[in-house]
Amino acid sequence: MTPIDRRRFVQGGLLTAAGSALGPVSTLACDDISSEFGRRSTADDVTAGLDLTGKTALVTGCNSGIGYETMRTLALRGAHVLGTARTLERGQEACDRVEGQATPLVLELTEFETAVQCAEQVRAMGAPLDILICNAGAIFDELWHVNGIEAHFVVNHLGHFVLVNHLLALVLAAPQGRIVLVGSRAHENAPDVGIQFDDLSGESWFASQRAYGHSKLANGLHSLELARRLEGTTATSNAVHPGVVGTNIARNLPAWQETAFRLAGYLFLKSPAQGAATSCYVATNPDLQHVNGCYFSDCNPETPSANMRDVDMAARLWETSEELTLDYAADFPRLVG
C-alpha cells in the first residue's frame, strides 16, 4: 500500500456505546489550519486569554522540562492538572511550584502496572478528562531491555499505550476530549522500513538515535491509528513535534554528550516554555476542537515522513502493542477498527 497523505488520512472507525453515545462530529482537514504562532511562541503566548476553569488535564513527565511547562501553563489558565512523575516526591515538588491546582501521580513507564494504577486513581476522582498529553520520554545511550523489548520502545510508546487505553473512557466522557502525543521530528531517524516488528529487541539495529527515532515514529503511528478509531466521536488525537528543546531528556547520555547537548541548547534550541507551546496549542485552542489525526510543529500542521503516514503500519503497531500489553488491557471502552 502506498502511504496516504496524513493530512487526509482520517477514515471511519467505530466505538461501542461508550463512545458513540456522545454523537458524531465532523473533522477538519489539516490543510485548513493555520495559526499566528510559530517557533518562538511560548506556552503562555498560545494560551493567553483562555479560561480552562472546570477542565481536567493529565500531563505525563511533569517534573521537568516541557512537561513541567505544560503543567504550569494549563494550571495557570485554570485547569486542574494531574501531573505524573516516576516518584511521588518528584511529582509533588513540581506541583508545589505551580500557581494553580496541580495533583501529582506516579507513573513509571517501564512498569505497565503503574499505568493501570494511575488511571484507576484518575477514575476515582470522578471527573471527565478533557486533556491527555503524553509527554514523558527518555533517550538511552546503550541498548537495554524491558522484558526483552528495547527500552525506548517501552518507555516512549508502550507505557503510554497502556495509559491511554485505560483513560480513554474518561476522555470520551468529556465534552470534547483531546489526546496529544508528543512525538519528534527525530522519527525520521528510525530504520528506513519503519517499525521493527521482527526485532523489537533492537539487537540487530540498535543505535541510540535510531532507537529514539523508532520510538518517536511509534508515537506518531499510535496517534494516527487512535485518531482513525476516534473518528465519529467528540474526542480527537493529534501528534506534535515540540522542537529541539534544552531539557533533561539527555540525562542518560554520557557526560560529554549531555554537556554538548545542553551547550547547543543555549545557542540554538528552544526553551522548555517554547517547547511546550505546540502541545498546549493543540490541547486548548478553540479552533482545533474538530481537528483529528494531524501532526503539528511550531503550532502549525506539518507533513511527517512517509512511514508516519502509513496507515497499515499504524494498524499493525496497534495490534502488536495490544499483544505486548495484553496482561494490562483496558476493559472499556472497546475500540474496534
The per-residue pLDDT for range 46-56, each reduced to its tens digit, is: 999 999 999 99
Q: Is the pLDDT score of 194 beyond 80? A: yes
Whether residue 136 is contained in a domain is answered as yes
How far apart, in Å, do the first and last CA atoms of the chain sit? 18
Number of domains into which the chain is organized: 1
For 231, residues 6+ apart whose C-beta sits below 8 A from its C-beta are 10, 11, 12, 13, 27, 292
Q: What is the mean pLDDT of the chain?
A: 88
> Cβ(47)–Cβ(280) under 8 Å?
yes
What are 136-173's pLDDT values in tens digits? Answer: 999 999 999 999 999 999 999 999 999 999 999 999 99
Contact (Cβ atoms closer than 8 angstroms) between residue 99 and residue 75: yes
Task: Determine the Cα–Cα distance for residues 213 and 190; give it in Å rounded to an integer.
Answer: 5
Average pLDDT over residues 119-133: 98
pLDDT at 11 over 60: no
Residue 69 counted as domain residue = yes
The answer to whether residue 334 is domain-embedded is no
Q: Is 284 part of any domain?
A: yes
Q: Which amino acid is at 317?
A: L
Q: What are the strands, taking DSSP E only, across the chain?
A: 14-15, 56-60, 80-85, 102-106, 131-134, 145-146, 149-150, 178-182, 236-241, 295-297, 300-301, 335-336
Give me the mean pLDDT over the 116-139 stretch: 98
Could you give phi then psi for residue 105, rounded to 5 degrees? -135, 155
Indicate if the pLDDT at residue 295 is higher than 70. yes
335 found inside a domain? no
Task: Give me the pLDDT at residue 257, please.
Answer: 66
Instruction: Label residue 297 by pLDDT band (50, 70, 90).
Output: very high
Per the domain annotation, does 101 fall within a domain?
yes
68, 212, 281, 328: the active-site residue: 212
Identity (one letter) of the amino acid at 298?
D
Q: Is the pLDDT of residue 204 over 70?
A: yes
Domain containing 173 equals 6-16+27-326
The CATH number covering residue 153 comes to 3.40.50.720
Asked if residue 318 is part of any domain, the answer here is yes
Q: Give me the pLDDT at residue 8, please.
A: 29
CB contact at 8 A, 171 and 129: yes
Q: What is the mean pLDDT of residues 12-41?
A: 63
Q: Say if strands 300-301 and 295-297 run parallel, antiparallel, or are unpaired.
A: antiparallel
- 212 is a catalytic site residue: yes
Query: What is the arithmetic mean of pLDDT over 64-72?
Result: 97
- Nearest CA to 94 among 292, 204, 224, 248? 248
CB neighbours of residue 231 within 10 Å: 21
Does any domain span residue 169?
yes
